[in-house]
Amino acid sequence: MAFEVIYTDTRTKARLGRLTTTHGVVETPMFMVVGTQGTVKGLEPRDLLETRSQVVLGNTYHLMLRPGREIIAAAGGLHRFMGWDGPILTDSGGFQVFSLAKLRKITDKGCVFNSHIDGHEFTLGPAESMEMQRVIGSDIAMVFDECLPFPCPEDRAIKSVEQTLKWAKASKDAPHAQGQQVFGIVQGGVYDQLRRKCAEGLVDIGFDGYAVGGVSVGEPENFMYQAVDASVPYLPEDKPRYVMGLGVMHQMAECVARGVDMFDCVIPTRVARHGTAITRRGNVAIKAAKWAFDQGPVEEGCSCYCCRNFSRSYVRHLLNAGEILGMRLLTIHNVWRLNEFMAEMRTAIAGGYFADWKEQIKETT
């Protein structure tokens, strides 16, 4: 069995799970670090091990353009190319249907893009996406879908769900790498009936796991929870559930309470490059002058490599001097913090006190 639910919380829908992939076993709930172009920005594979990262997320659209299918194939797949022997999940490129809306045109077969790099025209649809993911050799491949913006008119969302289901079937039917799992993606915007229709349609097709897409695209927090509530009840209990693009601690805890198992987000690496540390007491701007003489760690009580060895004063100096090490140390801390947060969450579920723990999180994050 690829996914096993080990324990379900009695007061919420939170669950402990174990996902078996070709490159290792993953404990859920979990957070996946984003390595869009075959690297987690600022980190080496050994840093990923140090920060207890379980899965790296790569992006089909970006890897298709650079370095390209031929180079990754010559390397024997993305695992060998990037020197990472753990599990990899690849996004299909469907998010770029949303994020690069000015550079693409949707057709029944997929999207015609103008490359954001040099402007050349190319097609990315279910066939091209799944073939690229087959060459990449990811442990989990996402179906090609259409990620909707917020706000989105209902008539537009209706057409999108119909298209997403057609693309999901084409993605499922395409050739895959040996042992590669394929996840469907629920779309439907803020329309509950469309979310249900999409979820039930995907279950009819049958996938190894299911994601809730089209969230964290600028909508208010309550709409994000609404999308999860309108999707998860119609997904199988014996398959992993994944909310895409979410990495805020209290939001992940709320989604886990709703039965979600997996998350990813660029937040920990992105904010680190801008000098922000993620802590259990909220985000901290390390560049601030008040830390100039502070000899304490970036976060009190943290046991990451950064906090064990360096002071706020030193990391602030590096950041303000434009030294790469400052961004790298803060990235290590932020990735560690989210992975530790998920480990604490798993402990709370196993210990039977997740509901109380979740309420405390609201006050401290």
Cα–Cα distance, 360 to 184 (Å, whole number): 33
Q: Please indicate whether residue 91 is annotated as part of the active site.
A: yes
| Dist. CA 182–CA 30, nearest whole Å | 18
Would you call 264 a catalytic residue per the annotation?
A: yes
Residue in 145, 220, 159 with CA at minimum distance from that of residue 190: 220
Q: Other C-beta atoms within 10 Å of 26: how many? A: 23
- Residue 203: name the closest of 239, 174, 158, 228 by CA: 239
Strands (E), the chain: 3-8, 15-21, 24-28, 30-34, 56-59, 88-91, 104-107, 110-114, 121-124, 140-142, 181-186, 209-212, 241-243, 262-265, 276-279, 282-285
State the Cα–Cα distance between residues 65 and 93, nearest whole angstrom. 11
CA distance 104 to 114: 6
Which residue among the candidates 9, 139, 261, 264 is catalytic per the annotation?
A: 264
User: What is the C-alpha radius of gyration for the chain, rounded to an integer number of angstroms?
Assistant: 20
- Contact 294/314 with Cβ under 8 angstroms? no
Question: Tokens 């790469």 belong to which residue?
Answer: 324
- Which of 91, 139, 145, 261 is flagged as catalytic? 91
Q: Give the residue numbers marked as catalytic.
A: 91, 264
